[in-house]
């Protein structure tokens, strides 16, 4: 089993961290858009028939982004022991 070069791992980690920051910021923006749409329509109950389609779509997108964030955080957590071992 060949180990990838150390700089590649560090670079990939940096890319993942930057992606996470962007995704978290996007989730925050989407959440504020959902709140604004609920306020605009005066409907906040998701089970309500009048609940806005835009808010439903944004919720789906937000949930997908949160799953992506979780997967990337898990990937970072798995990399942490490898990076500590190569640094030693």
The rounded average pLDDT for each run of 10 residues, N- to C-terminus, in the chain (88 residues) is 60 91 98 97 93 97 98 87 55
Q: Is 69 a member of any domain? A: yes
Number of domains observed in the structure of the chain: 1
The pLDDT assigned to 1 comes to 54
The pLDDT assigned to 88 comes to 47
The pLDDT assigned to 79 comes to 76
The parent domain of residue 34 ranges over: 9-77
Q: Is 32 a member of any domain? A: yes
Q: Is 83 a member of any domain? A: no
Q: Is 52 a member of any domain? A: yes
Q: What pTM does this model have?
A: 0.78
Question: For residues 34-70, b (16+ Cβ closer than 10 Å) or e, as one string?
Answer: beebbeeeeeeeeeeeebbeebeebeeebeeeeeebe
**Maximum C-alpha span of the chain:** 59
- Number of residues in the chain: 88
The pLDDT assigned to 78 comes to 85
Q: Alpha-carbon torsion 79, 80, 85, 87, what sign?
A: positive
């Amino acid at each position: 089993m060949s180990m990838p070069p150390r700089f590649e791992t560090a670079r990939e980690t940096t890319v993942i961290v930057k992606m996470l920051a962007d995704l978290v910021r996007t989730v925050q923006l989407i959440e504020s858009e959902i709140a604004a749409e609920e306020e605009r329509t005066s409907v906040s109950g998701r089970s309500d028939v009048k609940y806005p389609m835009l808010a439903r779509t944004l919720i789906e997108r937000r949930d997908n982004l949160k799953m992506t964030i979780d997967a990337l955080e898990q990937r970072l957590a798995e990399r942490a022991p490898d990076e500590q071992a190569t640094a030693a």
